[in-house]
Every structure is written in C-alpha cells, then in structure tokens.
Chain A
C-alpha cells in the first residue's frame, strides 16, 4: 500500500490547484468510447472521489460537536446545561467564521521560508492562491480544516465548565481559533518548521496539533479560574460533583467515536484505500482505551466507573490520532490501552493539583494527546523520506522519537505561554469567573435568560 499521495506533496501543491477538468471525450454519436477515452476519465473520477470523501469527513467532524455538547452537558450539573450547550454552539460558529476571516491564511497560506515557517498570511478570505492539497478544491480543503479548528477550542469549554463568564469563554474561543490554533497548525500541517525538520514531526490527525493544544489551554484556563465551589472539602480533599446525565455523556462519547472516523480518516485528505487502515487503528484504540479504563476503576474502587470508561474511549481516540496512519493494528491496541490506563491516573493527578476539570478534558486531550504523539516515535511502522521514519520499537532508532518530543514540547510551551497571556488579558478586561451567587444558582438564567431544563415557567 504505497501508492497514496502523502503530505510531502503539500508544499509543491501550494497555489497550484487547478479546476478539475473533465477530459473531452470525443467520439462519434454511435461509437462506444475507446479504452483511452475511459482511462482519461480516471484522474477526474479520483478528484471527484477525493472531494466527496473529504466533504463527508467534514460533516463527521462537525457532528463531533454534538458529541462534545452531550459529553460536557452530561458530566456537569443540570443548572448549567443551557450555558454549556450555548458555549458549544458558539464554538462551532466561531470555527466557521473566525477561521475563515483570520485563522486559515495564518495556518496555510504564503511563503514557507523565514517567518513563514512559523506563521502564514496572504490570500485572505479564500482569495486567489488560497492553499489546497492534492485534488481537493480550496473550498473542500478549507471547510475540512475549519471543522477541525473549532474542536481545539471546544476542549477548553469542558474544562472551564460551570463557573466561567460566558463572554470570557467566547473571547478565548475567538482568539484560540484566530491565532493560537492556526499558528500550531502552521508548524506542521501548514508546511512550517516542524514539517521541515530532517525527520518531520509526525502528527497525522492532530494528537498534538488539536488535542494537546486544546488540553494545555484547558489546563491554563481551569487553573486560572480555580475550582468550582464545593469541589474540594475544608480538609482539601477532592469531592466529586457527579454529572447530571450519564446517558448524555456516553452517547456523546459514541458520537465522538463516529466523528473520529472523519477526523482521522479525512486527514488522509483524499479517498485512498489506506483510510481503511486508519479507521481500523482508530476503532481498535478506542475500544482498548475504554476497556482498560473500566478495569482500572474496578480495581481501584471495586466498581466500574461509567464516565471514566467514556473518558477511556476518548483517551484511546486521542492517543491514536497522531499515529493512526503509521502504526499497525497491534500498535494501535497498545497505544489505546496505555491511553486508557494513563487517563485514569491523569484525572486523579490533575485533581491533586486542585485544578478542577469537570469533564476530564485536560487528561483526555492534553495528557493522552502528548502520549499519543510520543507513541509515534515508538510504534511507527512506516518509512518515507521527508514524511515519517520507523519508530524505536520497529528498528528505526530514535530519529522519529526525537522529532515527536520536539514537536509536542514546543507546541506545549507555545500554547501555555499564549494561553496565560490571553486569559490574563481577558481576566483584566471582561473578568473570568462568575460571581459566587450565580455559580450557586446556575449560569443558565443569569447568562442566557432561561434554564436548560425545568418546569414550564409560564402558567398559560
């Protein structure tokens, strides 16, 4: 399976997109088409397939927002359901609009030399020369990337749930989608400095670029906000605040799993048989993550924790996202299982730091995103000059591993610094945390005028 085009063609493809022309099939009215005629149609058929597949993948990635809505609403209290849902609908909207207005060119356009290794520009508003990959039209490429952009911000929304000023969150989501996420994308997918390493940093669908980015910002946000009232007892011991709908949370996890086939599979950026392998590693890792997380909770407390099993499923997905293309199905099984193990201990560890993360976003996306990225350096079974090297466990030495560490650590540092600056500005202007009274009452009515649920308020 070496026939597919891969991302190394990216730079060459800059600005070179040409309209897909259906070759003129000249033939007499009654003569059957010749073999040459039919063969000449193959490239345009492939181009159509590529575009159709990526548009389907785009819809799956957008559907992931339904998953985030349910996970985040389910794992928090009913009194804040309207608020968390509102944050998600605004994040999805910001992904479309702000990534179009600002983010996309920063991520993909302009020169790849000098400053262009770190930040892009040009061809604003999908103008002439806007970047596209392979057979994809600039619009197909944009809309797929825009669907991704919103997911990084959404991760932050869960970790900051139940106590954040609505406007403050939206302001952060806008800045994240406009600047922070696009700069990170630039470094690898956009052809920047991590892509230009002699052994490129490999992050196929974004364990680092999307999930670690979201997870680090989530950590900074949750840390600066402080824990929810009552989350830690007078003795400093963590006290769980159970979510109000476990079925919501788990349906959300399953929707995310479905969406992930578009997230990982679509990252091939074309309709290629290799997508089957990507889907396979994705599914196996998710399953292994859920099973291991469930077993660990059973061993720890004597009971299998439902929400944690859901977190384990997502942990497996986040973990496999970087290596989904490069690892074997057995490699995927191990990566998923280790992610499921890590997430349980990460949740407890983050809790010890007194950083209150109601949905486990920091552990799932941040910690497992980091692990999944490093795991490529261990489990990669692919080798392709200027794209990826074999991992440590497959006889490739430490080349890929070093690039993975460089990529994950540099993104972590950048996002941490950027998030501290942005959240500090927001704190000083809009204010981050809601008043104690509103937090106790619930954010729904105060911020949005109506409860997420509740008895009918009018007697008529």
Chain B
C-alpha cells in the first residue's frame, strides 16, 4: 500500500476531487496548509505599504491506494491539478507499511 500526498492550489481542489471520484478512489483526506516553494512567495501592498507573503495557502490531499494503481492515481492528480503556472504544487508517494480500518479492525488492502 502506498500513501499519495499532493499539495495543490486551493481552487484546484474540486477538479482533483472529482477526478479521483471518477477513478473510483474511495477515500481522501484534505487539509488546508501553507508553505513556500522555489518561487519563495510574493510581495503585495496593503494601505500603501508592502508586505511579503512567503507562506502561500495550499491544499494538501492524502490518499491511500493499493500498489497496483499508484501510478494511475498520481497521473490523475497531476492532470487535474496542473495550470502550467508557478505554484502548482507537488505530488509524492510514500510506503504505507500498515493500514487499519478502525471500525472493523480490517487490515491491509481490505482497509483501503
């Protein structure tokens, strides 16, 4: 089992969520996060004075999937989240060594 984590632009959340549903993914966890990447934030003005926004709001998705479909799901997320502009975010995959469904105690693939 793998944990796919994606950090995307907040307004892309609906697109990615719909794409995941269409791909029959049965669960996703979404959190609001902030961070910076290579761009390092940007400068805005407020009441005539400048301020630096170096931590930009992003949305983070965590999806547990079976090994067999990892690449497809990653591709689905990338396709749905891309705008081609700076700040589109990242997707990465980590090993999930044990997964338990709390209600039933099911483990592994059954718990996904």
Q: Give the B-binding residues of A (Cβ under 8 A).
A: 237-242, 297, 300-301, 303, 305, 307-308, 311, 344, 347-348, 351, 360
Contact = CB atoms under 8 A, between A and B. Distances in A.
Contact of A347 (B44, B48, B51, B52): B48
Interface in B35-54: 44-52
Nearest to B52: A239
Interface of B: 44-52
Contacts of B51: 239-242
A297 B47 CA distance: 8
Nearest first, the 5 closest Cβ-Cβ pairs linking A and B are A240-B46, A240-B51, A240-B49, A238-B49, A301-B45
A308 B46 CA distance: 8
Contacts of A307: 46-47
Nearest to B45: A301
A360 B52 contact: no
B99 to A, nearest CB: 28
A238 B47 CA distance: 11
Contact of B48 (A237, A241, A242, A297): A297
Contacts of A308: 47-48
A445 B101 CA distance: 40
A385 B22 CA distance: 83
A296 to B, nearest CB: 9
A305 B50 contact: no
Contacts of B50: 237-240
Given A240-B50, A305-B45, A347-B47, 7 more contacts: A239-B49, A240-B45, A242-B51, A300-B48, A305-B48, A307-B47, A351-B48
Contacts of B45: 240, 300-301, 303, 305
Contacts of A360: 47
10 contacts: A239-B49, A239-B51, A239-B52, A240-B46, A240-B50, A240-B51, A241-B51, A300-B48, A307-B46, A347-B47
A242 B47 CA distance: 8
B47 A311 contact: yes
Contacts of A237: 50
A311 B51 CA distance: 19
Contacts of A311: 47
Contacts of B48: 297, 300-301, 305, 308, 344, 347-348, 351
Contacts of A239: 49-52
A307 B48 CA distance: 10
Contacts of B44: 240
B46 to A, nearest CB: 4
Contacts of A305: 45-48
A229 B105 CA distance: 51
B86 to A, nearest CB: 19
Contacts of A347: 47-48
Contacts of A351: 48-49
A346 to B, nearest CB: 10
Contacts of A240: 44-47, 49-51
A295 B51 CA distance: 21
B52 to A, nearest CB: 7
A372 B49 CA distance: 26
A300 B48 CA distance: 8
A340 to B, nearest CB: 13
A430 to B, nearest CB: 30
A239 B47 CA distance: 10
A300 B46 CA distance: 12
Q: Residue among B48, B49, B50 with the most chain A CB within 10 A?
A: B48
Nearest to B48: A348
Nearest to B53: A242
